[in-house]
Amino acid sequence: MENVNVVPQVNAPSIGSSAMLVELKISCWTGRKKDKSASATVTSQNYADKGTASVNKKLLGNCDELTAIQKFVANARNTNYDATMPWSDLGQRLLTMPVYFKHHPLLTGLQTEFYRMSDTFCNNYTWEISRAQARLGDLFRREDYPTEESIRSKFSFTISYIPLPDAGDFRIDIGNEQQQVLKDHYSEYYSKQLASAMDDVWQRTYKALSNMSERLDYSGNDKKKIFRDTLVDNVIDMVELLTVCNVTGDGKMTRMANKLEDALRGVTPDGLRQSESLRVETKRMVDDAIKSLPSLDM
């Protein structure tokens, strides 16, 4: 397999018109707090050293509304992750322009639903505290809870789009020589980040293909393996991902997208379940695609 870890030499403005950075920030009240008194009691009762035990209590007990919001937040983050590529440690993700036109309405829809759910929770917050008092018993402390006025500030959902900076746009007065040093430094950083983003696409492709190959392998098993319809959908999604995320015009990605499209033409989940010959042939083509993937650090 070819080595994909070679850093491509790319000028910073090269993908500025075909991609941008997206930053999704979601905050949600955890509804949890460490109980120092209970922690000390547990430590003492078990003759353990101070600080070796910690009791964290759910302030509202099993509150279905808060749990639903927390699960919704996790899903929203995963949705953004699936449509983007890594870029910086600050949480910014690389978003290509073709994906933007589908992804932005999806994110804003999730944003609207998030605020609807959080508003419902906040409107019932006082009632949930009264219910929590019965659930927590002696662990209940009224001072543990944010005020009714501040609870809404615990929930936020913001979407920010940021253009990719131009490596030549250093508007600072430090002299031409040092400006060139900064430009070179950013170009190196940019190239490494772009390589990491492309590597992420290959990693996702490998994961989807290896999972399909494993689920289609019935050899040595008395029973057929059970798989969901998404087994095929996940690989079809990779065809689109390899296409819309190929901002550098990588020929390997184009060839891989074409190879997978050919391999899955006419393939359905039910067909794979019912036809051994289709299953064997599809697995053969998927395995062939895996072999042609660039080498990855798994």
Per-residue pLDDT band for 182 (boundaries 50, 70, 90) equals low
- Cβ-based neighbour number of residue 102 at 10 Å: 11
Percent of the chain residues topping a pLDDT of 90: 56
pLDDT in tens, 141-150: 899 999 988 9
Average model confidence (pLDDT) for the chain? 85
Q: Above 80 in pLDDT, residue 18? A: yes
**Would you state the pLDDT for residue 5?**
45
Structural domain count, the chain: 2
Q: What is the pTM of this model?
A: 0.75
> Average pLDDT, stretch 233-262?
92
Tell me if 11 is assigned to some domain. no
Residues 42 and 158 both lie in one domain: yes
> Average pLDDT, stretch 69-84?
96
Residues 239 and 186 both lie in one domain: yes
Domain ranges, residue 65: 19-162
Which residue among 137, 162, 187 closes a domain? 162
pLDDT in tens, 100-139: 999 999 999 999 999 999 999 999 999 999 999 988 888 8
Residues 67 and 108 both lie in one domain: yes
- In contact, 283 and 217? CB cutoff 8 Å: yes
